[in-house]
Amino acid sequence: MNYLKRSRLYLVHKKGQSLLMLLIMSAILVFVLSGIIIQNAAITATNNVTKSAGTTISVAANRDKMFSQMRSSTAKTKTLTTPTVANTKIKKAGSLSTVAYYNITNTASVNASSFDAVSTTTGTSSMPSGGPGGGGTTASSGDITINGVSSTAHTTAFTSNQAKLVSGRNITASDANTKNVVIEKELATDNSVKVGDTITVKTTASSAKKIKLKVVGIYKAKTSSTSMPGNDPSNTIYTSYTLPASISGTVGKSSSVTYTLENSAKEKATTKQIKQIIANSSFSVSSDDASYQQLLQPMKNVQAFAKKIVWLVAIAGTIILGLIIILSVRNRQREIGVLVSLGESKLHIIGQLFAELFTILIGAMVVALLLGSFVGNKVGNQLLAQQQTTSVSNTGSTSGAPTGTPGGGNMPAGKTGGTLRGGMTNQATTSAANKKALKTLNTSITPSSVIKLGGMGLVIIALAVCLAAVSILRLRPKDILIGE
């Protein structure tokens, strides 16, 4: 009788045993499939993270170089001069295919003329206007900070929700070479200024010059805290990067720029290209992928855990099935002895066992395909939630130290557009990462998942049969039939 036919008859005759094997193998394959689809979902999510995390590369003044030049100066009055780079080079680097967008930053200090600046209880501002992020040399500080950018929507303050537009529009690239501005809500309210109005400021130079500015938008700073008395964040006015450059006498040049990448995985290569374009020892080029890493780590953990599930379940399943088959072979020794004594090949008997398990495997795969997606979705999203909670907790415990100098003028490389206050960089990064964090895994069964499941199933039953084959090959029909 054909061994394939015998395997079918055995499964029909031993319904209870066949059902038990089906349940065991179904459980094994359900967890194997869950691991596979969780791993696939984590890989897909990881690829999406690289495109959405917003890794930045910043070009900013090299402070060590600035102080070195100031100390070596022979002038009686030593001033700290902020270097600038031509906008043509900045735009050339911005045209790289790996760059999604870039934000040029210049700052200048002026005095309010047609309106009153918001004052704090005590103190006056003494921050020099020529810090990193500003243009020109030091001068007496005014009560208003002009923060020139390519786009307010792409500054750290706005992307981290520390500032939010409440009226009018944002500053965009089309505002270059204009005097359009976006002012803070408290400053606007105190001076009864609304969108469309014109305000006037004065430069801080000895020959003060008045500049009329058109208000095109009003933003709200979410906190009024400031680390510098007399320097209220409401006194920060956003405008195009060209206006501070004209005030400081550096037209056509800028002091810093931040490039946001299309794909965070291209960070190293893009940094190298930008360094080649902007080759200047007075500037440092550095990247900030903290948000990317914070988003990526939970995905890596989920992916690694899913891989462990697949291997652990596969190994455990092979051992369990192998032990079951070995016990089954012991109970079927007389049957096997009769078959061998009748001339049946031991390889055919092993083939019969494989055929029996293969038939059960087909049924178990159907059950796994029905339940695997549900189990994988529950397990995957629970694991993702746990990993993200752990990641945020770890980040929060290490981001308490403030970064940047008071007033947001001295920003660390990797940030752009200026912050409204010092000490907000790490919090902003965490907030941005939390905003983009993946809340759920998109687990689904794909054709590749089914192929992997089938392959894993075949490997499991093949190894299980191989374990049992050792005892079958050692059987001697004569010893079996005489009861030894």
Q: Is residue 424 part of a domain?
A: no
The predicted pLDDT at position 224 comes to: 54
User: Based on the domain organization, do 313 and 168 belong to the same domain?
Assistant: no
Between 21 and 290, whose confidence is greater? 21
Structural domain boundaries enclosing 161: 55-288
Domain count, the chain: 2
Between 229 and 116, whose confidence is greater? 116
User: Based on the domain organization, do 303 and 378 belong to the same domain?
Assistant: yes
Q: List Cα–Cα distances, 77 to 67, 73, 80, 263, 282, in angstroms.
A: 14, 9, 10, 47, 21
Q: Is residue 284 part of a domain?
A: yes
Question: Would you mind telling me the total number of residues written for the chain in this entry?
Answer: 484
Q: Is residue 405 part of a domain?
A: no
The predicted pLDDT at position 54 comes to: 64
User: Based on the domain organization, do 42 and 64 belong to the same domain?
Assistant: no
User: Based on the domain organization, do 369 and 262 belong to the same domain?
Assistant: no
User: Based on the domain organization, do 35 and 173 belong to the same domain?
Assistant: no
Element containing residue 23 per DSSP (H, E): helix 15-52
Q: Is residue 157 part of a domain?
A: yes
User: Based on the domain organization, do 29 and 130 belong to the same domain?
Assistant: no
Q: Is residue 130 part of a domain?
A: yes
The predicted pLDDT at position 281 comes to: 64
User: Based on the domain organization, do 230 and 377 belong to the same domain?
Assistant: no
| Helices 15-52, 346-398: crossing angle, 10 deg rounding | 40
Q: Which among 254, 270, 288 is the end of a domain?
A: 288
Between 125 and 466, whose confidence is greater? 466
Residue 121 has pLDDT above 60, yes or no: no
3-state secondary structure of 212: strand
Read off the pLDDT of residues 156-214 as tens digits, 9 standing for 90 and up: 888 878 899 999 999 998 999 999 999 999 999 999 999 999 999 998 877 788 999 99
Read off the pLDDT of residues 43-97 as tens digits, 9 standing for 90 and up: 777 666 666 556 788 887 766 666 666 666 665 665 656 778 888 988 898 889 8
Q: Is residue 408 part of a domain?
A: no
The predicted pLDDT at position 441 comes to: 61
Q: Which among 288, 311, 326 is the end of a domain?
A: 288
User: Based on the domain organization, do 343 and 326 belong to the same domain?
Assistant: yes
User: Based on the domain organization, do 206 and 176 belong to the same domain?
Assistant: yes
Q: How much is the pTM? A: 0.57
User: Based on the domain organization, do 317 and 201 belong to the same domain?
Assistant: no
Phi/psi for 115 (5° steps) reads -150, 175
Please state the rounded mean pLDDT for residues 472-480: 65
Q: Is residue 416 part of a domain?
A: no
The predicted pLDDT at position 353 comes to: 84
How many CB atoms sit inside 10 A of residue 77's CB? 6
User: Based on the domain organization, do 69 and 38 belong to the same domain?
Assistant: no
Q: Which among 225, 259, 288 is the end of a domain?
A: 288
User: Based on the domain organization, do 160 and 33 belong to the same domain?
Assistant: no
Rg (CA), the chain: 35
Q: Is residue 413 part of a domain?
A: no
